[in-house]
Structure 1
Amino acid sequence: MGAETHYLNAMEALDEGDRERAKAEAKKATSIDAEHYEAWSIYIEACLPPAGVQPTMAEAAQALSAVKRVVAGDPSRMDMWMRGGRLLADELGMLHDALHWWQRCREHAPDEVMPVVEMASILADMGEYAQAQQRLQSILNDNMDVGITQYRKITGLLQLVQTAATQQEQDIFKPYEKHHDGWVAIRHKMRKPPLSESVIFLVTAVPLLLILVVLLGRYSAPTWSAICLNTLVIMIVILVCMRNAKRWFQLLNRPAFNLLRAMNFEAATGYTVMEEDIRTSVLYMYIMQRKPKAWQERTLKIIDKGTPLPKNWRMRLPDFSSHLVEGEKELYTFGEQLDAYEEE
């Protein structure tokens, strides 16, 4: 049978929910015709579980390997760039590799806003607020076309990085700095899970609303105008409390966000930077349980390996201006952390 026949069989199997047969048929199609990118797309879908089910590390790695083959042969496939970026950053936690991935995407599609937004989001998560702000500012400087949804995300990110940029450099938590004050804050809060925004809102709003209702009921006249005024006052109090709850959520849970950044750092670099007491704390377990399955599996392998951060370690950021250089582009070569799981 030819590649097209195997491809059609793979499509049929995938529609029937038989992902193993779809994967096998798609693999046969790509073995016959390595440039059958639609078959590669079916293979990627078959490697990953159905919607709503988190992939394992092996499944994510196999899908990522196929995605890299597709974008290497057809760099115009923005859907594959998006799929690869999501697998790298969200599922596997390889944030540094995801940055290089999106910069390579921008080299092939310099007018696309999505790679810039994704890089800015990753940089903000890493605490590189100045770099994130530069990426977002480049969207405005280059007068790039932005959709409504993207505009909202860009605006939110820009507000975040501008607020964070006002902090002193030493106040921004850097997991690779062993004696940073952020580690002290983590140790103080690591025995409890973080406070949710709804709890903070209830704790602050309910007492105020009870007092307000009692006072308004006692001193206001039973007229329609008074009822409308009372309702307006209550709504204003609720809105103010909601706004304060968001602000206090960030302040009170800063140690949790610092620990999350440290966990992401370990997943991104493959090196360990945390002490054992932090790793076995309630806060660490709380965050770990809410991470994707592939991320958890990969992090556990990093912990088991236990390679400490080298003293001469430097963050390997991509060349953010490489999309301005003309010439042949080569796909970024990733590390060997997933090679054992990627099918050749």
Structure 2
Amino acid sequence: MSAESHYLDAIEAEDNEEFEQALEHARLAVKADPEHSNAWWMIVGLLAPDGKYPDIEQASQALVACNKVVDLDPTRVDAWVKGGRLMVDHLGLYEDALHWWQRCREAAPLESVPIVEQTTILSDLGMYTEARDRLSALFEENLDIANSQLARISSQHKTLEMSAQQDQAAHFKPWKKNHGGWTAIKMRSHKAPVSENMLFMMTTIPFLMLEVFAARSLFGDGWRGFCLTSLLILVTVIIGMSFTRKLYYRVNKPGFNLLRAIQFEASSAKVVIPEDIRGSKLYMFLFSRHPPAFQQRLEKIIAADKKLPKNWKMKLPDFDSHLDEIGYIEDEEEDSELSSYEEE
């Protein structure tokens, strides 16, 4: 049978919800024609459908298929997005995802999605200076921004603005063994993170109840009293939400730092979290919130027990490599390496 015949059989099997047969036919299609991009894309969808949680084998195979799709058709933005999601959300390949999105920029230099994704990854890893540079490139190059991206970009901008006002040395970097953030994590490790709703109930609800009980004596009855009471409650809720959000990040900062350390371990495939923290309640809570493929891969990394070498450095992509595609080439390359890992 030809590749197209296998592909049509795969479509029919998928329509009949016979997913195993559909996957088998799709694989036969790419075996007959390795350049059948639609069959490769079908393999991606069957192994890692949207809204599902593939295991490590399925996620890895889906990522390989995504690579095939973008190699055959670099304009497939959906394949770039899917591959990026598999790398970050399911496999924890943050560093590789930076290079993946730079490849996307080279293929589609006028797309804003790669910059937004790179900014998010760099910010998650605590590399705020590099993240600010990425976000500024979005506006310097005057790229079109989809409406669906505006809220995300606004949130990133606020985060990066806050980080710029803070002491750079205070930003937790998991690759530094002597960073003070590890002490805070150890002190908080026996407790799970506190939810924002719980903090709101503890800090704001008592004031709201007090206002409701005292409203009649303060504002009286009638529409005037009702309107003033409603306005007071609205203002209290707004102030309470703002205060709760700040308190939430402050109280759970050790948890966010440990989450960054978990993500860094998955990205670097090296162990940095001390054993006494790894068995803690906080670690187990954060670990359990990751998808199955992420957990399985991290367990393999922990079992391998490879430590960061003394001269370890994270290799960042050349963020200007896409300029070749638009006819502009830098004369000098910037050094895109992080400071080396600190030993005790």
Q: TM-score, normalised by structure 1?
A: 0.92
Partner of residue 41, structure 2: 41
Superposed, which structure 2 residues align to 1:76-225 within 5 Å? 76-225=75-224
Q: Is the 8 A contact 1:55 1:293 kept in 2?
A: yes
Contact 1:85 1:101 in 2 (8 A): yes
Equivalent in the alignment of 1:10 = 10
Partners of 2:44 and 2:171 lie apart in 1 by 39
CA distance, structure 1, for counterparts of residue 235 and residue 74 of structure 2? 51
Residue in structure 1 matched with residue 61 of structure 2 by the alignment = 62
User: Does structure 2 conserve the Cα–Cα contact (< 8 Å) formed by 1:173 and 1:180?
Assistant: yes
Higher mean C-alpha displacement, 88-97 vs 210-219:
210-219
Q: Which amino acid aligns with 1:24?
A: E
Is the 8 Å Cα contact of residues 216 and 225 (structure 2) preserved in structure 1? no
Quote how far apart the aligned CAs of 1:215 are: 2.6
Structure 1 distance, partners of 2:4, 2:222, is 77
- For 2:332, the equivalent position in structure 1 comes to none
Amino acid at match of 1:132: A
1:38-89 CA-partner distances (Å, limit 9, x unpaired): 11111222222x5443100000000111111111121111111111101001
Measured on the aligned residues, the alpha-carbon RMSD in Å equals: 1.2
Give the letter aligned to residue 262 of structure 2: M
Partner of 1:236: 235
Residues 243-270 of structure 1 show CA distances to partners (whole Å, capped at 9, x for unaligned) of: 1111111111000000000000000000
Give 1:261-300 correspondences, 5 Å limit: 261-300=260-299
Name the amino acid aligned to 2:23: K
Query: In structure 1, how many angstroms separate the alpha carbons of the residues matched to 2:230 and 2:325?
Result: 62
- Mean Cα displacement is larger for which, 157-166 or 56-65? 157-166
Distance in 1 of aligned mates of 2:35 and 2:218: 78
Distance in 2 separating the partners of 1:16 and 1:298: 33
Q: List per-residue Cα deviations over 1:3-38 (Å, max 9, x = no partner).
A: 110000011111222222111111111111111111
SS in 1 for 2:43: helix
**Contact 1:75–1:108 (8 Å) recurs in 2:** yes
Contact 1:19 1:47 (8 Å CA) reproduced: no
Q: Note the C-alpha offset of 1:326.
A: 4.6
Letter in 1 for 2:27: K
Tell me the CA shift for residue 105 of structure 1: 0.4
- Could you say what secondary structure the match of 2:204 adopts? helix
Post-superposition CA distance 1:97-122 (Å, at most 9, x none): 00000001001100000001000011
Equivalent residue, structure 2, for 1:333: none
Letter matched to residue 25 of structure 2: E
Aligned AA for 1:34? P
Q: What's the CA shift string for 1:269-301, capped at 9, x where partnerless? A: 000001111001000010111101100000000
Which segment is superposed worse, 180-189 or 318-327? 318-327
Query: How far is the alpha carbon of 1:223 from its aligned partner?
Result: 2.7
Corresponding position of 1:340: none
Aligned residue runs from structure 1 range 19-34, under 5 A: 19-34=19-34
**Alpha-carbon distance, 1:220 to partner:** 2.5
Distance 1:9 1:326 in 2: 39
CA contact (8 A) 1:9 1:22 kept: yes
State the SS of the aligned residue for 1:325: helix
Q: Name whichever of 9-18 and 178-187 sits farther off.
A: 9-18
| Aligned equivalents of 1:214, 1:30: Cα separation in 2 | 70
Q: How many Å separate the matches in 2 of 1:210 and 1:31?
A: 68
Structure 1 residues 155-164 or 95-104, which shifts more? 155-164
Query: 1:266, 1:17 → 2: CA distance?
Result: 38
Report the CA distance between 1:214 and its aligned residue. Answer: 2.8
Question: How many angstroms apart in 1 are the aligned matches of 2:280 and 2:16?
Answer: 44
Secondary structure of residue in 2 paired with 1:124: helix
SS of structure 2 residue aligned to 1:135: helix
- Counterpart CA distance in 2 for 1:88 and 1:298 is 12
Tell me the secondary structure at the aligned position of residue 318 of structure 1.
Answer: coil
C-alpha contact (below 8 Å) 2:199/2:244 kept by paired residues: yes
Letter in 2 for 1:201: F
Mapped to 1, the partners of 2:46 and 2:206 lie a distance apart of 53
Q: Give the TM-score taking structure 2 as reference length.
A: 0.92
Amino acid at match of 1:131: E
Residue 133 of structure 1 and its aligned partner are, at CA, apart by: 1.1
Amino acid aligned to 1:3: A
Q: 2:320 matched to 1:310?
A: no
